[in-house]
């Protein structure tokens, strides 16, 4: 089975945006056992898009198209599809009703410009956009089944998960019982993860491994297709493979179920009915943002203090003035007092802190760029640790600092869970 992806939009060709949609779609198809053979990007030109659609229709069995379904004059994908299919655009009543429902729910006014989005090729089938205004649609041209999806990632992803995958499974008789186990890894580069899992194929020939790097974490996926064996054997087999993978990864597994580190920390805090406070200096609120990106974090997250200056550390967190004078802002003692101060001020069960040098300037021989001190304070724990990372990039250093702080907290919570 041959699959192509067609990404539309001048902003892609101009480099104004990174085409993360294509990466997501490749991964989504791979999980269905479908390999993408080609990715094409074209600008906002009707003839160019139509010609690309016509060419692909003779070469591929499946094509996922993103972008160009909006209300503005450069949104031309539906028109291009109609041209390639020798079809006409017509007002799709179901599409219009889905848009009206979306606008009504949000108390927005549906305009004539928006109605343009409900003009679809007459022979197409509409797909509801639950996250936005632009309906999607699918249509068969020659030998190829085309799916036309919004360019907005959140809209496109939900449409793929809820609708596209079902259509593909029915059309091509794909097995609905594909099993996927996800494991989140932090502290190892992708090359090292691959090396550690090198013997997987020989040990589990009926399964596949997948890797997704999202700095600074790696997601390892174990994929089992029930076409190779019955469901019960597949479940047992993938569980056995998962245990083997975890054992190989040198204690660097953050989540055995594919959660982000913030989600895993939230799960452990909820499980233990504990609350959290965070004091940040060099990470500038990044840890707090990661924590509050998790739904339900209000149940355990009490306080965030971005105490960037020394005065803020002293006045807000009660870091001792003598500590700053003797050790400086970037020191384990400072980090420890920051965590203790955040916990005391908020009344949280546990607190973490960061103070470091993200760069690119500000480093010294004793305290180089990439050095961070992380504090952890709670019942029975009062500790600070120093980490050194070798990135010259300020953003990467901040991301590593934030992850290291959450990992220190996760390990503490994991230890408490095991001792209960």
Kindly report the CATH number that applies to the domain delimited by 3-171. 3.40.980.10
Q: What percent of the chain has pLDDT over 90?
A: 84
Q: State the CATH architecture for 179-255.
A: 2-Layer Sandwich (3.30)
Q: What is the pLDDT of residues 273-305, one digit of tens each?
A: 999 999 999 999 999 999 999 999 999 999 999
CATH 3.30.70.2860 location in the chain: 179-255
Residue 158 clears pLDDT 80, i.e. is over it: yes
Q: Looking at residues 346-369, what average pLDDT do you find?
A: 96
CATH 3.90.950.20 location in the chain: 261-419
Fold of 261-419: Maf protein (3.90.950)
CATH 3.40.980.10 location in the chain: 3-171
Report the candidate in 315, 350, 356, 316 with the shortest Cα–Cα distance to residue 335.
Answer: 356
Q: Looking at residues 131-138, what average pLDDT do you find?
A: 94
pLDDT for position 225: 73
Q: Whole-angstrom Cα distance, residue 348 to residue 390?
A: 33
Which range, of 94-108, 307-321, 396-410, averages the lowest pLDDT? 94-108
pTM of the model: 0.82
């Amino acid at each position: 089975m041959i699959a192509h992806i067609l990404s539309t939009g001048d902003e892609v060709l101009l480099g104004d945006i990174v085409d993360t949609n294509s990466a997501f779609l490749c991964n989504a198809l791979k999980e269905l056992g479908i390999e993408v053979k080609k990715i094409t990007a074209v600008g906002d030109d009707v003839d160019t898009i139509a010609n690309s659609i016509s060419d692909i229709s003779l070469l591929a069995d499946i094509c996922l198209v993103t972008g160009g379904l909006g209300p503005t004059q450069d949104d031309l994908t539906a028109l291009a599809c109609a041209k390639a299919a020798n079809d006409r655009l017509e007002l799709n009543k179901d599409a219009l009703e889905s848009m009206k429902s979306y606008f009504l729910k949000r108390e927005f006014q549906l305009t004539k410009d928006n109605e343009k989005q409900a003009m679809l090729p007459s022979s197409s089938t509409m797909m509801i956009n639950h996250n936005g205004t632009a309906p999607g649609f699918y249509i068969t041209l020659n030998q190829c089944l085309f799916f036309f999806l919004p360019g907005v990632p959140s809209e496109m992803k939900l449409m793929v998960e809820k609708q596209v995958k079902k259509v593909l499974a029915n059309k091509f008789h794909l097995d609905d019982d594909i099993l996927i186990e996800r494991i989140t890894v932090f502290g190892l580069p992708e090359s090292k993860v691959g090396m550690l899992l090198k013997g997987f194929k020989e040990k589990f020939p009926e399964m596949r491994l997948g890797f997704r790097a999202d700095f600074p974490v790696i997601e390892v996926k174990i994929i089992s297709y029930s076409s190779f064996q019955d469901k019960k054997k597949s479940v047992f087999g993938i569980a056995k493979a998962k245990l083997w993978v975890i054992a190989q990864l040198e204690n660097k597994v953050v989540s055995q179920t594919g959660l982000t580190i913030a989600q895993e920390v939230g799960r452990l805090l909820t499980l233990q009915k504990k609350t959290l406070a965070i004091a940040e200096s060099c990470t500038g609120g990044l840890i707090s943002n990661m924590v509050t990106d998790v739904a339900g974090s209000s149940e355990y997250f009490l306080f965030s203090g971005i105490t960037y200056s020394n005065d803020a550390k002293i006045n807000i967190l009660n870091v001792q003035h003598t500590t700053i004078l003797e050790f400086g802002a970037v020191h384990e003692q400072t980090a420890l007092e920051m965590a203790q101060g955040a916990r005391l001020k908020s009344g949280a069960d546990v607190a973490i802190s960061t103070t470091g040098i993200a760069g690119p300037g500000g480093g010294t021989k004793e305290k180089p760029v990439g050095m961070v001190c992380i504090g952890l304070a709670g019942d029975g724990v009062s500790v600070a640790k120093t980490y050194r990372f070798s990135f010259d990039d300020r953003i990467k250093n901040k991301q590593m600092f934030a992850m290291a702080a959450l990992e220190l907290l996760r390990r503490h919570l994991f230890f408490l869970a095991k001792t209960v």
